[in-house]
Amino acid sequence: MSIRLGYQMPNFSYGTPVRELFPTVVAQATEAEAAGFDTVFVMDHFYQLPGLGEPEDPMLEAYTALAGIAAATERIQLSALVTGNTYRNPALLAKTVTTLDLVSAGRAILGIGAGWFELEHKSYGFEFGTFTERFERLGEALQIIEPMLRGKRSTFDGKWYRTDDAINEPRLRDDLPIMLGGAGEKKTFALAARHADHLNIICNASELPRKMAALHQRCAEIGRDPATLEVSYLCFLMVDEDGDQAREQQRDFLRSIDIDLSTLSEEEREQTVADRQFVGTPDEVAEQLQTRVLDHGVQGIIVNMVTNGHEPGAVELAGRALAPLVR
């Protein structure tokens, strides 16, 4: 397993009738596969996130959507970025992702995180708890899920979860990859060092040097070679053959969340979501990703194209620009 170039769908608001929504999702996935992306991701949420839209905007259930994408693709890997641990019993999640692996002929990745969106928990009746409790639950869940993905029976009696000789059959393989996602230098990175094959870091790009140093420290604390833990970075991509058009997309998007770049200093800009955005022509965004991300020791890039990824040709343009960076 390797995640070098991933495509994430961060929204399902395409201005289409509901009947055309999922065909638009499939079109993005097939275009990503043809354009050289190795993994396609959907979010595991029930409501759209603040900064991307309103709670009532369209949002698909992640694993049902991934199964549908599996049927329409042949090679591209499939994952949530990332599964909210609080939304599913961990043994059931192990069964779910293993079944996705089976129906996709070995293309599933388990992306998982602690969960954070309080409104979803309140609305759907899931216990939210404290920050510390959510990470306790994730740590216990991984102790159940990991053996179940590896062909072992799970017996576990913890504070939050328990299993009794839980069986997970059928499986295609015993090395289905586990990916953690987040930015927490202590809790998330420690769990990734202990359990994960891959870590996707979600942070402002200017924070990456500190994040990578912290990850290496977490690996050193348990004696793991950091070279054995693959790392990717999640970013917003706004790319167009006309760089001015891409920059106008960025300005429009930021204005929609009350950010005006023209009024910010460089230091202030680094404190906003703009520091996660890579904007311009294909050559410009490739250079930005090389210097701001890959040169810090990150191996993979996961992009979302919130402004125009659903438009035919946009994903292909991104793949053509970025695939040479990560080969």
At 216-228, the pLDDT tens digits run 999 999 999 999 9
Q: In this model, does residue 66 exceed pLDDT 90? A: yes
Q: In this model, does residue 237 exceed pLDDT 80? A: yes
3-state SS of 19-59? HHHHHHHHHHHHHHHHCCCCEEEECCCCCCCCCCCCCCCCC
DSSP conformation letters of 304-316 = E-TTTTTSTTHHH
Helix, strand and coil in the chain, % to nearest 5? 45, 15, 35
Which of 93, 198, 182 has its CA nearest to residue 143? 93
In angstroms, the CA 263 to CA 60 distance is 36
Q: In this model, does residue 251 exceed pLDDT 70? A: yes
Name the β-bridge partners of 259: none
Q: What are the tens digits of pLDDT across the range 281-322?
A: 999 999 999 999 999 999 999 999 999 999 999 999 999 999
Q: What are the tens digits of pLDDT across the range 174-193?
A: 999 999 999 999 999 999 99
Q: Name the pLDDT band for 79 (thresholds 50, 70, 90).
A: very high
Task: For the chain, give every domain's residue range.
Answer: 5-244+276-326
Distances (CA, A) of 60 to 45, 56, 278: 8, 12, 26
Tell me what the pLDDT averaged over the chain comes to. Answer: 96
The answer to whether 42 and 66 are in contact (CB under 8 A) is yes
* pTM greater than 0.75: yes
In angstroms, the CA 126 to CA 134 distance is 12
Q: Name the pLDDT band for 261 (thresholds 50, 70, 90).
A: confident
Largest interatomic CA distance in the chain? 60
**Span 44-60, average pLDDT:** 96
pLDDT at 131: 96
For the chain, how far is it from start to end, CA to CA, in angstroms?
14
Orientation of helix 314-326 relative to helix 18-34, angle to 10°: 30
Q: What are the tens digits of pLDDT across the range 198-208?
A: 999 999 999 99
Q: What are the tens digits of pLDDT across the range 91-108?
A: 999 999 999 999 999 999
CATH topology for 5-244+276-326? TIM Barrel (3.20.20)
Residue bearing tokens 């759907």: 124
